[in-house]
Amino acid sequence: MNAATIVSKVWGFCTVLKDDGVGYGDYLEQLTYLIFLKMADEYSKPPYERDMGVPAEFNWQSLVKRKGAELEVHYVRLLQDLGKKTGMLGQIFTKSQNKISDPAKLSRLVAMIDGENWLMTDTDVKGEIYEGLLEKNAEDTKSGAGQYFTPRSLIKTMVACIQPAPGKTIADPACGTGGFFLSAYDHLVAKNDLDRTQKEFLKHKTFYGNEIVANTRRLCLMNMFLHNIGEMDGEASVSSADALIADGGLRVDYVLANPPFGKKSSMNFNIDDGEQEKEELTYNRQDFWASTSNKQLNFVQHIHTMLKTTGQAAVVVPDNVLFEGGAGETVRKKLMETMELHTVLRLPTGIFYANGVKANVLFFDNHTAAKKPWTKDIWFYDYRTNVHHTLKRKPMRMEDLADFINCYNPANRHDRAETWNEDSSPEGRWRKYAYKDVMARDKTSLDITWLKDKSLTDLDNLPEPDILAEEIIENIEAGLNSFREVLVGLGQAK
């Protein structure tokens, strides 16, 4: 099967449907339902002959043999029925709806998928098709899907630094479309000569995730399955439960995560006049160091709980986690005392699909309880100051972070050397700060920078006009987000 041909087919039909008002997200959902049913049909035949749990009246052949209005009515019934099933089948079809109103185009989509043998299609091809659609969906700012999509260059960098080993468990408590799982899977396959036992463990027992948004969880499960993770007739490895509600008892070797953007945890409820009010959620958990409605701080605390005593984590967090007082200061102090916070990567703007985001990656390791703080030195890599990226014209690529990976030294992170020196290399991006010096800072702030912003003093170093304009928009949107949070705090926002 020619990969380019399949990709062209899938993309081409997406464009046709877009003209009818069917966005990438809706297209992705329908594609997920139909490919799942087609693959289940293929599994039911020789040489597999597996019962995939799909009732005969709602199997793939029931779609192929129908046309026009009859197909549309049957498809709606099929989605409703399969959404009530258990296991992976129920998770894929939960809350499913038909978004293709034109029966003729639905029939064409069924015919397109029916024309290929998806089980025989190379995993890389299936993954390429689906990942490409996920990224296109993230680019659609109206859908809001960008908040569930982490730039793949950043994910690969984090995995390259952590270097997960075979036979170990990996979790993401807010897994979105599963980017961290797929990158870790690729790393484990590429870097290791896995035996049969290790391959089985990788496929069935390595990955554990949470995703509370049904549509996103569906895309994640299908994305994982198309990349050969899990089984169609098995239990879903991604839970619909809110990871922050309670300690579920899961302890893992690695956590790789980019929790959803937005500072506050909240829930909506209806009041007498039919309007909705937003109420902040504070998670009162015994294993948390501080009770707060700050969602990001809660995820950091939850990830601490999830790690085994030998566990490692790499977590994307917004700037407020680095400097916020109150609960933020408490969390930072406890993190550095009970864990070994050893690396902070400062990220530039213009790399996330959700606007107005200033983020960092925290790398920390867990250890057994000790009288003295585990954190000794914290290494900072500033890839923000004087760095300019945009999503379309100048996206961040993995090679842009090659110097950081080299400085991080995954082979032996205890053997590092600063590239910054006050006299000989004042523009070095890699610098070490002692634990005692960080603790002496106001509010134990980790919001540290030492490089000079050249755009403030040297007009020749200004970025191109379009990049500058995008950065201005990013900063304005970041400011607006902060103001919205203030309004929520004052009880004036709904």
Pair 473, 340 in one domain: yes
Strands 170-172 vs 266-270: parallel, antiparallel or unpaired:
unpaired
Residue 168: the pLDDT is 98
User: For residues 68 and 103, is the Cβ–Cβ distance under 8 A?
Assistant: yes
Domain assignment of residue 29, given as a range: 3-132
In a domain, 234, yes or no: no
Instruction: Tell me: pLDDT of 355 over 90.
Output: no
3-12, 41-50, 156-165, 457-466: range with lowest mean pLDDT: 457-466
In a domain, 218, yes or no: no
In the 8-state DSSP scheme, what is residue 55?
A: -
Q: Where are the alpha helices (DSSP H) in 316-453?
A: 320-323, 327-338, 402-408, 435-439
List the beta strands (DSSP E) in 240-369.
252-257, 266-270, 276-280, 307-318, 339-346, 359-366
In a domain, 159, yes or no: no
Task: Show which of 106, 132, 158 is a domain's final residue.
Answer: 132
* Peptide linkage before 46 cis (omega within 30 of 0): no
Number of domains in the chain: 2
In a domain, 233, yes or no: no
Question: Which pLDDT band holds residue 492 (cuts at 50, 70, 90)?
Answer: very low
Give pLDDT tens digits for 88-107. Answer: 889 899 999 999 989 999 99
**Average pLDDT value over all residues in the chain:** 86
Pair 128, 246 in one domain: no
Partnered with residue 344 across adjacent β-strands are: 362, 380
- What is the mean predicted confidence (pLDDT) over 109-113? 92
- What is the mean predicted confidence (pLDDT) over 52-72? 94
Instruction: Tell me: pLDDT of 485 over 80.
Output: no
Contacts of 445 (CB under 8 A, 6+ apart): 322, 323, 438
Residue 122: the pLDDT is 79
- Here the tokens at position 195 are 């035996």
Pair 299, 448 in one domain: yes
Q: How many helices (H) and strands (E) does the chain have?
A: 17, 11
The closest of 110, 122, 120, 58 to 84, measured between CA atoms, is 58
Task: Fill in the amino acid letter for 180.
Answer: F
Q: How far apart are CA 26 and CA 7, in angstroms?
A: 18
Pair 253, 400 in one domain: yes
Domain CATH number, residue 401: 3.40.50.150
The closest of 431, 401, 341 to 159, measured between CA atoms, is 401
Whole-angstrom CA distances from 162 to 70, 356, 376, 403 are: 52, 27, 19, 16
Instruction: Tell me: pLDDT of 385 over 50.
Output: yes
- Environment class of 187 (CB within 10 Å of its CB; exposed 0-12, middle 13-18, buried 19+): middle
- What is the mean predicted confidence (pLDDT) over 187-197? 96
Q: Higher confidence at residue 464 or residue 252?
A: 252
Residue 126: the pLDDT is 80
- What is the mean predicted confidence (pLDDT) over 446-453? 94
Task: Show which of 109, 132, 155 is a domain's final residue.
Answer: 132
Residue 118: the pLDDT is 84
Instruction: Tell me: pLDDT of 74 over 90.
Output: yes
State the residue for tokens 């948004």. 213
In a domain, 164, yes or no: no
Q: Higher confidence at residue 279 or residue 365?
A: 365
Give pLDDT tens digits for 255-272. Answer: 999 998 765 554 433 334
DSSP 66-123: --HHHHHHHHHHHHHHHTT--HHHHHHHTT-------HHHHHHHHHHHHTS-TTTS-H
Q: Report CA torsion sign: 283, 289, 291, 296.
A: negative
Task: Show which of 81, 115, 132 is a domain's final residue.
Answer: 132
Pair 332, 457 in one domain: yes
Residue 476: the pLDDT is 72
Give pLDDT tens digits for 268-302. Answer: 333 344 444 444 677 889 999 999 989 999 999 99
In a domain, 148, yes or no: no
In a domain, 179, yes or no: no
Give pLDDT tens digits for 218-252. Answer: 989 988 888 888 887 778 889 999 999 999 999 99
Q: Higher confidence at residue 320 or residue 276?
A: 320
Q: What is the pTM of this model?
A: 0.85
Q: How far apart are CA 346 and CA 454, in angstroms?
A: 17
Residue 21: the pLDDT is 82
In the 8-state DSSP scheme, what is residue 259?
A: P
Residue 273: the pLDDT is 43
Pair 274, 412 in one domain: yes
Domain CATH number, residue 78: 1.20.1260.30
Task: Fill in the amino acid letter for 84.
Answer: K
Strands 207-210 vs 238-239: parallel, antiparallel or unpaired:
parallel
In a domain, 209, yes or no: no
